[in-house]
Amino acid sequence: MSGLWRARFLHGELKNMKIKVRFLAYFRDLFGEREKEVRLPEGAHLRQLLEVLCDSPERRAQVFVEEKKLNPHAVIMKNGRPVQSSGGLDALLADGDVIAVFPYLGGG
């Protein structure tokens, strides 16, 4: 969270956004719930959302690699499109966005 952005939020200059997050398959067990609503100040990116959600080493390990990149074994979709193709961790979030997190399945 940048200092300026945080300061603007704390001074009430930024509105809250509601982001719905859905956890599927083993992410549901990892995060202990099927769905969660997260409030973030406007201008937040996916990175900020995931920082809020990943509050344990186990959760971070499943979502991030090398602390700065998305784990390629986690599929994260924003409104039905993979974030990998729309900015990754820097994808800008908007009020009402739906984020789905599920494992990458590739076997047959």
Partner 1 sequence: MEVEREWKRYERQLGLIGKHGQKKLKRAKVFIAGAGGLGTAVLTYLAAAGIGKIEIVDKDSVHLSNLNRQILFSEKDVGKEKAWAAVKKLRSLNPHIELKAKTEDLLLTCLYERVSSFDVLVDALDNFSARYILNRASLHQGIPLIHGAVRGFYGQITTVLPGKTACLRCLFPGSPDLVQPSVLGPVCGLVGCLQATEVIKLILGLGSLLENRLLLYDGLRGTSEEVEVQRRPDCQDCGGPAFFMGNSRT
- Using CB under 8 A, pick the residue from 1, 8, 28, 52 that binds partner 1: 28
- Using CB under 8 A, pick the residue from 22, 36, 59, 60 that binds partner 1: 22
Asked if 59 touches partner 1 (CB under 8 A), the answer is no
Say if strands 98-103 and 16-23 run parallel, antiparallel, or are unpaired. Answer: parallel
Cβ of residue 16: shortest distance to partner 1, in angstroms? 25
What's the token pair of residue 60?
Answer: 């971070």
Asked if 75 touches partner 1 (CB under 8 A), the answer is yes
| Binding footprint of partner 1 on the chain (CB under 8 A) | 22, 24-26, 28, 72-73, 75, 77, 79-82, 84-85, 100, 102-108
